[in-house]
Structure 1
């Protein structure tokens, strides 16, 4: 019947909601039991002393039991080769494990969220009772049944609202940029951890950071690799993760990960440095730096504490030196290479790249010339930093672009003779072995900044010989056509192309030269190294001989543009060629007579 249905439902709900009187009686009973226990403890102090160590030891023994089990399980799963090949599988395993780490060592500031989660429990139990009663006693059209159904709908609506609030709170917690970043670092373990266990914890915690699996601070883990989180939120989670688990992170791997994956986020690097500072705040070097103004004494003390190998602790001392003494502290840090790498110095000087270039240039020049290329090549880790360093080098202590490039993007005459502050470093970077794509990118960088010596070298490396000859004609310097770097024409077609380039540019560049009828005379002694038809023709005659050069010039229709100087030089070349042939013939005859005399 309906009355029995309502009575059963009321009794079941009543078991979940204790009346105030009953609750008062229960609390009174609990108070009496508590007083009785207190009296018993006071009357037996010896028993209290015996129980106290036991009560302290039991939690210590079981404190990390769940975390150890979860760690062992995660390590076993991650050793599966199929899992190692699937980053998403690795992230899922780390997410499950990170919940246990958060429970033991995580920040307590979000504990309120767990309290909020416990509130819907009673509502869920009440909802389960209502569902069971409706299933057992379905009564259509009954007012009591309708009332129960409305209660059930209200519960469902309330649950949905609570879930929405929890999700919203999670999002707000994960994207909060202020609160979590103000907390201090956990640089030491809050409890004793066995070495083997700590080794596994460090491995998994560092792997979480590398794969961007972070804790949201509410007992759940989240990863930002799928692009679901904005970058600002991801950086904030990374900073919070470092602060919470700094004592469980591999500082070397952490540094490398930040340099490669968080290059656009200065906050993450600053958080890392802040953690190192807190870790070394009581070190002798840190204390000496606060009281000592003599940089050399501090450097000596830092050197005496070595060897540092590749310890990140040396990096934080270098940071303190740079903050106190500025760029003058960078050059002495060359002595600590390779403990401190150029990538580390670049991070220290990210607000002033000129300081980094000065350090890198000094580091390279500190080695003998024959070892500079090998040193620079060893520093290019990863290879992509070559382009970054090249961009810095061609943009610092360099001439204005308007002085090296004209409005059409072509080289200005003689602009390759400008002084570049880091020209040696630029050429070393360019001449190191590289793939075709990297060479093309370096050529584009050199052209856009007007560093023409490097651009010509790369054009020849990329087999863009015609482009190289075109730019040499614009630069108007015949000295660039030498055989040392392969820029001299190698075929008749290349000579013809260069002669036509000289003819097209002669009028524009050398309209002030003396005229010979309608032709432009390019044989003026005042311009012996300009790219003119006559100078190129003379270079051709020296390369292949005047007897072969004249027919080629006639074929190109350039004989009218040649002056008497060209004719005189050709005659001298013929005489020199005859004498050289005679000398060679004489030497061959002498060798022949000597060999015959030896046989006799």
Structure 2
């Protein structure tokens, strides 16, 4: 492979006796003589533009004058924590760009080792047998000074999402680069606002080192620091913060929630949609949001996974964020997966919203009956049956619902101030208001439920009949007046 051949040349040029001891993380000072490669000044030269003429067909193999950067025989054995953030020799700017491009490409394409021959001439497979994350950490440590840091950061996030040690190693390199900066040293003292102001005033927003300063703040102030990082968006992205607090994912939710709420309310949903790159993040974030600061599942579901009465009224820490996520446009498969997530976690408001979108009305009515709250079927956004078949289904579900074994507490702990329960009479009243008392009575007779109705239902139906008569009379009167007016205009 072309890149592997080039990497072999790079390894020979910046020769180090043994890289196998390089650990996954390191925090040594890069300005220490013990941690920087030593080159004999008599054999170290400047890579100038004349070398560019010697490039081969690969355009890269001859980029570096090997004699200029050839290490001396007295090269020290590297420490386990060696981290090469500064170039061990002078490199002309015209070459540095090409070197950065090719070295970063090796990282992006996972070309992290070459065929390394031992003194006996045989291929040494010691490094090649290491795990990918260890190889990546070693590669970062050896060639950090050559990398395009912005591209390298994106590559680490994309390729090593499940290997935090690679991100930690990358951040360690950024910290080493920033450690000699007066701003970084000044941030060792002061409260969060003063340190934020220092970063705001001293560090360019497009600097790849900005995430190193953010890491320093997070390590000192935790979740409070994460919430404050919203001011650095889009220089610091949610994907950066997710890596930053990978040991404490709940803290990422606090950041994401604050970031979304920093926008005007009418822009929050579209802004959240713009953050979902790649699209698969939607399910990851939803699963994260329903798993933290949520009521226990025993409070929202029974042993069979059905909703407990009134459990849709419980408080969820990130309910607004969850609803934003599930209301965003998505394909059918994604919506189904989101429905399953809401159902398995007991987030019933989101579950019912998704059932409406997916036309899973029978499923929704079944769970509404379990939730035992008539307000879910009232108002402009209520779940009103649309057909006679749906009314029959609802009445059958209510009829089959087991009698209440014990009074259910409302979410605030009281027994008396809970929502109006879903029972035959309340559903019958809703039916009478929707279809009229006479049609409602016929349907109730068909379902065999008239004996379960009280005098209250009869009185309500009488009132509805009177109201219907008055409404018909009013409409008739208005039509007659309009008719007379039109005739008078013609005359």
Checking the alignment, whether the CA contact within 8 Å between 1:106 and 1:244 is kept in structure 2 is no
CA distance in 1, matches of 2:315, 2:164: 34
CA distance in 2, matches of 1:95, 1:383: 33
Checking the alignment, whether the CA contact within 8 Å between 1:102 and 1:219 is kept in structure 2 is no
CA distance in 1, matches of 2:131, 2:393: 59
Q: Are 1:474 and 2:370 counterparts?
A: yes
Structure-1 residue corresponding to 2:421 = 530
CA radius of gyration, larger in: 1
Q: Are 1:233 and 2:131 counterparts?
A: yes
1:394-413 equivalence runs, <5 A: 394-413=290-309
Q: Return the structure number with greater relative CO, CA threshold 8 A, min gap 6.
A: 2
- The 1:275–1:307 alpha-carbon spacing in structure 2 relative to 1, beyond 3 Å, is closer
CA distance in 2, matches of 1:334, 1:398: 24
Tell me the matched-pair count: 421
CA distance in 2, matches of 1:182, 1:582: 94
1:558 to partner: Cα distance: 1.6
1:375-390 equivalence runs, <5 A: 375-390=271-286
1:484 to partner: Cα distance: 3.7
Q: Are 1:509 and 2:407 counterparts?
A: no
- The 1:488–1:455 alpha-carbon spacing in structure 2 relative to 1, beyond 3 Å, is same
Aligned counterpart for 2:246 among listed residues 325, 350, 353: 350
1:233-312 equivalence runs, <5 A: 233-290=131-188, 292-305=189-202, 307-309=204-206, 311-312=207-208
Structure 1 vs Structure 2 CA RMSD: 2.7
Residue-by-residue CA offset, 1:534-586 (whole Å, 9 max, x unaligned)? 11111111112122222222222222222221111111111112222222233
Checking the alignment, whether the CA contact within 8 Å between 2:16 and 2:78 is kept in structure 1 is no
Checking the alignment, whether the CA contact within 8 Å between 1:180 and 1:240 is kept in structure 2 is no
| Matched position secondary structure for 2:8 | helix
1:347 to partner: Cα distance: 1.4
1:370 to partner: Cα distance: 0.5
Structure-1 residue corresponding to 2:27 = none
1:340 to partner: Cα distance: 1.2
1:303 to partner: Cα distance: 1.1
1:208 to partner: Cα distance: 1.2
CA distance in 1, matches of 2:490, 2:202: 76
CA distance in 2, matches of 1:93, 1:250: 20
Structure-2 residue corresponding to 1:186 = 84
Aligned counterpart for 2:464 among listed residues 573, 588, 599: 573
- The 1:106–1:557 alpha-carbon spacing in structure 2 relative to 1, beyond 3 Å, is farther
1:373 to partner: Cα distance: 0.4
1:188 to partner: Cα distance: 2.8
CA distance in 1, matches of 2:159, 2:380: 43
1:213 to partner: Cα distance: 0.8
Checking the alignment, whether the CA contact within 8 Å between 1:216 and 1:237 is kept in structure 2 is no
TM-score under structure 2 normalisation? 0.79
**Unaligned segments of structure 2, at least 5 residues:** 21-76, 408-415
Structure-2 residue corresponding to 1:461 = 357
**Unaligned segments of structure 1, at least 5 residues:** 1-91, 112-178, 513-524
Q: Are 1:215 and 2:113 counterparts?
A: yes
Aligned counterpart for 2:6 among listed residues 97, 118, 121: 97
More off after superposition, 248-257 vs 399-408: 248-257
| Matched position secondary structure for 2:222 | helix
Aligned counterpart for 1:200 among listed residues 81, 91, 98: 98
Structure number having the greater helix percentage: 1
